[in-house]
Amino acid sequence: MRGTSFGLYFLLPIASGFFFDFNQRNQHEGQHPQVSYEDKVLNSDCAEFLCPDTLACVKSAKDCPCPFPKSQLRCVLPDSHFVCISKPATHDKNLNAMYDDPVKGPQSKIKGLRDCGWVQDAYKGII
């Protein structure tokens, strides 16, 4: 009995690997091959500037959007570069509405919250 248990112990991973591999092959039959990031960049029809994070076609690098605009603020730095930061977490509906506004949100500076005002201060070395 002990030898049988010992043999099953080694055969079980082989058998389960066969079934899982078989299942993976069936899942890939109907899918299209994924296009690599490099191919997306090289095959882009963008005649101006192609943003590296989002592959959005814009006039210049300073116009690139954040990859996750619903949850990020786009903070422009004094040197015209920008960084994308997570919107501050708050339960205040008015503050959330302000941060969701594409014009007011990036210009906000609320004491105690890490928003674009905080980023500006950090950039200037004030923090």
N residues, the chain: 127
Look at residue 27 and give its three-state secondary structure.
Answer: helix
What confidence tens digit (pLDDT) does each residue in 38-70 have?
A: 999 999 999 999 999 999 999 999 899 999 999
Helical ranges in the chain per DSSP H:
2-28, 37-42, 93-100, 104-107, 116-124
pLDDT > 90: percent of the chain: 68
Question: Which of 72, 92, 43 has its CA nearest to residue 64?
Answer: 72
Look at residue 42 and give its three-state secondary structure.
Answer: helix
Whether this model's pTM surpasses 0.75: no
What confidence tens digit (pLDDT) does each residue in 5-27 have?
A: 555 455 555 555 555 555 555 55
> Tokens 């210009």 belong to which residue?
107
